[in-house]
Structure 1
Amino acid sequence: MKTTVEERRINVGGLTIRYFTAGNDDDPPLVLLHGDGESALDWSWVLPILAATHRVYAPDLPGAGDSSKPDVVYSPEFYTQFVAGFLNAFGLRRAVLVGNSIGGLVALRFALSYSEAVTALVLVDSSGLGYLVSPFLSQLTLPWYGEAAIAWSKTPLGAKQRAWSRALLLFAHPTRVPAAWLAEQVRMAQMPGFLEATLSALRAELNLFGQYKVLLDSLPQLQMPTLVMWGTRDQILPKEQAEDAVKRLKQGQLALIPDCGHLPHVERPGLFAAVLIQFLDKIAY
């Protein structure tokens, strides 16, 4: 039977949040958090598969997709409190958290602060596990440089150029990028407030020299099962960060996705879902 994915909206802390959901209400909850400059659409290639065994929720984070874009500092702290509010809005006392890129950093921060609410943690090419990051991103933290990039990327031609530039950076095989992903990038770039929120989140996480919100020393505190999943050809964050992180986890597992970039759930959804399901099958809910 074909899984129905529903697009809905909910109020969280006064913000209108778009989210996608699928699965049975009686199944364990699974929350998917996308990366900076992305949207919940990223999960659409794996969400129906995961919904066979879980009630899945994939929100557009504030500032992204079709969610509200308030004029705030989009810091990891802000996003962490949003996740707390999102779970509370559904009455979810415990859930599996899956986070990609900055979504991974947010999931990790939430797990460290609210461990009793996290059944298991999955960090997908996650920020916060090492200082090194692609200079293509860190240079955007320079004064005025990011603002100039925003001004150009809001134009129709600039939005298309930005989408293809991101594809070259985020995927091992840019020519195979789904057309729907590229269209979403072009659409969002021209939405008021989206690029400003993206840049704010980037600057709250990075400086010119790399990441400064690194939580490696906190990893031994995690008690829940944790899967670290990484594309072997990630140009944003090197796979060595994953290998270092998993050594510090009490219940850590490492899964390297071969011939894949920063978004394995988009680039290799079948393998991503298979690895994640294998991990989830061993969780005691």
Structure 2
Amino acid sequence: MYTLLSDHSTKQSSTSNSKYRGELLADIPATEHRMDLAGISTAVLVSGEGEPIILLHGPGETSLWWMRVIPGLVKNHRLIVPDLPGHGASKVSHDALDTDLVFQWLSELITKTCSTSPILVGHILGGAISARFAVNHGEQIKQLVLVDSLGLDKFRPTPGFAFGLFRFMIWPTEKNFDKFFPHCMYDVDELQNQMGEKWKPFVEYNLECARDKERSDALQLLMKTLGIPKIPDDDLQKIDVPTALIWGRHDKANKLKIAHKVSQRYGWPLHIIEKTRDDPKLERPGPFMDTLSTILQGTKP
């Protein structure tokens, strides 16, 4: 069993050589570990005690995108927050990646970090991976929460979102980041004000990751195989653990109507967070944590 360090305030060094990652980690109440999972050298943030929750981030993101909710969630839960394979400080050649390896990676993450079945919370790409995992490995998890998740229907973003994403992926400059980010965030200026001194290293680290070819290749492969394809309805019907949806009302990538459709079809409660696009955990951490708490307590929206 993987043991948790008891000092939650321990300041850890980054598992990568990025000074920006180190700056972002400095104030997160979690300890960063390096774990071998299915042969993938994985960076994992671990902290807290209590019922375990695994948080899986979105495409092109890292575990650090959960930084605004970790301080609140860690008060009552054991948190396990990895960088997805090929993302951030989790190293793997895209040539070695395939769907079976990703599911083996997640299975080993659970067995090595959780003494009881965890709640699995997946955001966008992390949501698609979580949902696909629940179809065939539901016995390993207690509950499933999908946040603005891919895989539940056809991927049909707005034209502006699609063009901005394509432009940033081809030319990951700060200028193109600034143009694309408002398609993901409801109020970028407000987010920047709230993040304060963390804004610059946040942007710089994301640019650093986007410019790295190995990370870019891994991202494209995961999106092509696990993110963008729709999960068959018959497979989603097989999910037999309690499942809930959290959605940003103004999501331009996975429109709210997808969540309504899926909620009605499978009876999964839908929780809508106002004044957000596709990343409520980053934009509105307070309402996000309140919503997640409501779900875990079994309260209807």
- Shorter-chain TM-score bucket reads 0.7 to 0.9
Q: Which moved more, 1:259-268 or 1:165-174?
A: 165-174
User: C-alpha deviations, 1:175-222, integer Å up to 9, x for none?
Assistant: 23341532331221233411222222233357xxxx432344433322
Amino acid aligned to 1:204: T
For the Cα contact (< 8 Å) 1:219–1:248, is it kept in 2?
Answer: no
Unaligned 5+ segments in structure 2 are 1-7, 10-28
Whether 2:36 is the aligned partner of 1:11: answer yes
Task: Measure the CA separation in 2 of the matches of 1:113 and 1:276.
Answer: 24
Task: Measure the CA separation in 1 of the matches of 2:168 and 2:145.
Answer: 32
From 116, 120, 123, the equivalent of 1:97 is: 120
For the Cα contact (< 8 Å) 1:34–1:102, is it kept in 2?
Answer: yes
CA RMSD of aligned residues (A): 2.7
Are residues 169 and 267 of structure 1, via their aligned partners in 2, closer, same or farther at CA, if it must alter by over 3 Å? Answer: same
Amino acid aligned to 2:85: P
Provide the aligned length of Structure 1 versus Structure 2.
Answer: 266
Are residues 83 and 205 of structure 1, via their aligned partners in 2, closer, same or farther at CA, if it must alter by over 3 Å? Answer: closer
Q: Which moved more, 1:162-171 or 1:227-236?
A: 162-171
Amino acid aligned to 2:66: W
For 2:258, the equivalent position in structure 1 comes to 241
From 154, 168, 171, the equivalent of 1:152 is: 171
For 1:80, the equivalent position in structure 2 comes to 103
Map residues 1-285 of structure 1 onto 2, 5 A cutoff: 4-24=29-49, 27-72=50-95, 74=97, 76-90=99-113, 92=115, 94-134=117-157, 135=159, 152-153=171-172, 158=173, 160-177=174-191, 178=195, 179=199, 180-205=201-226, 211-250=228-267, 252-282=268-298
Q: Which moved more, 1:194-203 or 1:121-130?
A: 194-203
Amino acid aligned to 2:275: D
Task: Measure the CA separation in 2 of the matches of 1:217 and 1:245.
Answer: 13
Task: Measure the CA separation in 2 of the matches of 1:76 and 1:125.
Answer: 21
Q: Which moved more, 1:30-39 or 1:80-89?
A: 80-89
Are residues 86 and 136 of structure 1, via their aligned partners in 2, closer, same or farther at CA, if it must alter by over 3 Å? Answer: farther
- SS for the counterpart of 1:229 is strand
Q: Percent identity?
A: 25
Task: Measure the CA separation in 2 of the matches of 1:93 and 1:99.
Answer: 18
- SS for the counterpart of 1:248 is helix
Are residues 36 and 136 of structure 1, via their aligned partners in 2, closer, same or farther at CA, if it must alter by over 3 Å? Answer: farther
Are residues 165 and 195 of structure 1, via their aligned partners in 2, closer, same or farther at CA, if it must alter by over 3 Å? Answer: farther
- SS for the counterpart of 1:114 is helix
- SS for the counterpart of 1:274 is helix
Are residues 260 and 75 of structure 1, via their aligned partners in 2, closer, same or farther at CA, if it must alter by over 3 Å? Answer: farther
Q: Which moved more, 1:76-85 or 1:12-21?
A: 76-85
Task: Measure the CA separation in 1 of the matches of 2:98 and 2:161.
Answer: 16
- SS for the counterpart of 2:171 is helix
| TM-score, normalization by structure 2 | 0.79
| TM-score, normalization by structure 1 | 0.83
